[in-house]
Copies of this chain bind each other. A is one copy, B any other.
Amino acid sequence: MGEIDLYDRLVDLAKRRGFFWPSYEIYGGVAGFYDWGPYGAVLKKNIIDKWRRTFILNHQDFVVELESPVIGPSIVYEASGHVENFTDPIVECLSCGRKFRADHIVEDKLGISTEGLTPEELTKLIREHDIRCPVCGGQLGEVKTFNLLFQTRIGPFEHSLGYVRPELAQGMFVAFKRVYEAMRNKLPLGIAQIGKVGRNEISPRQGLVRLREFTIMEMEFFIDPEEKRCPMLAEKAEVKINILTQEAKKKGEAPKQYSLGEAVEEGVIIHPCLAYWMGVAQEFMESLGVPRENMFFEDKLPEERAHYSSQTFDQLVKVSRWGWIEVAGHSYRGDYDLSRHIKYSGKDLRAHKRLKKPVKRKVRKILINKAAIGKRYRSEAPKVIQLIEKTGLEQVLARIKEEGNIQLEGYEITRDMLFEKEVEETINVKRFVPHVIEPSFGTDRITYVTLEYAVKEKDGRLILSLPWDIAPVKAAVLPLVERDDELRSKARKIFQILTREGIPAIYDDAGSIGRRYARADEIGIPFAVTVDYQTLEDDTLTIRDRDTWRQVRIPSQEVANIIRRAIEENIPPWE
């Protein structure tokens, strides 16, 4: 199928058959928002379920799920750095008033990368090259920064700012301590979440690939920073992935194949757990129908990375209209986020571990000389002791050392009332801020990519060859002849059996059987179950495979089992 029209044909099919379309169409649409229609919503849900199975359930010993709110108070996004850093450069046309991504305008015009340039530098480039408004040709103003957070207010007070989360991660960081404790203080601990985020893009124009609101599937994988191994990697060490290293990129070279084990040994991937999850991520995308050769991992340059990251790989997949697009990011976030939240909240969010060898150390302790206080204050001694404790022994002693005897609420405190002693302490537990590895997936892009890799042309018509396990509808039940009541009644019964068994199916008796097969193929239904005259004699059905158009006869009471086996165990009906 020609690459040029694939996108348009898929978009047409998607609208016609109910996969996706721009939201708010009746009001002219709003850029960056898409609806998932009946089949699209279920396809997306099936992809989410598969991710959940792959990343959470398969690792249920140490990965759990969390659901935190979409809207968050300002302080969270001040701590995370988003209020300060989550911006794009924007420029306004002084003639028509349109606003544009300043970096895109410069890149389009000059064909250079603008990564890391400041607004001032962008303005300078615009002036030097007399770059104009791409719509009306008018003069452009100064480049400013535009914050991409959707801002709102929480409650009735003007100053209570809130934001729509731009990523899921902060929900996991803010709740880390609760989850860590509920999961009984063990590391590694993966906290996964699937949910909506908002990014108020300046002028998104790439359909499902650049949305203002989308669903992320993400995990924050908390590790002990002293733990440099990743036992799980052993089973994937031989898995090959394509990596574009920073060096290769600077030299203009292509991605190179590494085994995950090699990539870790050679320091291309800075942590084995990061490598492990990249391997899982590749397998996940392969299971949706994207071949390995159409995928690579790009090590982002320091100036391309988010403010929190010390290594980030974008996972890229090739699509027809947009070339290479990012479907996931794999970041080593270090202790950036937890440390920021510790600082901003004043709460101790550290993890702890028992030391294998307890450490002994000498510490100076300040103690109260109760005898001295008793002698002087008699029955008031307990009150004075409490006063000293409330003020803090460290502080009281420091003041006495500086000022001589001091007064606390009218009581004189003298040097002899406190004494210092060196004691030996045994430390069994070490407290530390965990490091974090984060695989994060754009669900809507991935669903779109899955559709693009599924769409095939055969005899001039489109077939969605979606993998059986994620296809939104599993079976089309068809009476062979449209107007035969007996066939229809039998087919309805088969449809009802599938419904009762929880198998997503459609019943279709409108039009010639050929048209109905074609319709089912366009929706990506793996199996067409046809009731014909032989069915009425011997209670067998034909079951037709969407991709090979191969047909086999099966006993009608076997239909649910055969389809379930195909979906769950990938065993074809003819085996």
Contact = CB atoms under 8 A, between A and B. Distances in A.
A99 interface: yes
Contact of A38 (B70, B182, B212, B506): B182
B182 A24 contact: no
Interface string A45-87: 1000000010001101100111111111101100000000000
B26 A38 contact: no
B505 A15 contact: no
B505 A24 contact: no
Contact of A499 (B61, B73, B164): B61
Interface of A: 15-18, 21, 23-27, 30-42, 44-45, 53, 57-58, 60-61, 64-73, 75-76, 90, 99, 146, 150-157, 162, 164, 171, 174-175, 177-179, 181-184, 191, 195-196, 198, 200-203, 212-213, 341, 344-345, 347, 349, 495, 499, 502, 504-507, 510
A182 B76 contact: no
A499 B153 contact: no
B18 A505 contact: no
A341 to B, nearest CB: 6
Contacts of A184: 510
Which of A31, A41, A195 lies at the interface centre, i.e. has the most chain B CB atoms within 10 A of its CB? A41
B198 A71 contact: yes
A213 B69 contact: yes
Contacts of A32: 154
25 contacts: A18-B179, A18-B182, A26-B341, A26-B345, A27-B73, A27-B174, A27-B345, A30-B73, A30-B162, A34-B69, A35-B68, A37-B178, A37-B179, A37-B182, A38-B191, A53-B502, A70-B164, A70-B213, A99-B155, A150-B154, A152-B152, A152-B164, A154-B200, A155-B203, A184-B510
Nearest to A20: B67
B26 A349 contact: yes
A18 B198 contact: no
Q: Which 9 A-B pairs have the closest CB atoms?
A: A18-B182, A38-B64, A36-B67, A26-B345, A41-B67, A26-B347, A41-B65, A99-B156, A150-B152
Nearest to A90: B156
Contact of A68 (B23, B38, B191): B23
Contact of A21 (B18, B73, B178): B178
A46 to B, nearest CB: 11
B151 A153 contact: yes
Contacts of A157: 99
Given A30-B73, A152-B200, A195-B196, 19 more contacts: A16-B181, A18-B179, A23-B69, A23-B174, A24-B76, A30-B72, A35-B67, A35-B178, A36-B68, A37-B175, A42-B65, A45-B65, A53-B502, A60-B506, A70-B70, A70-B164, A70-B196, A71-B164, A150-B152
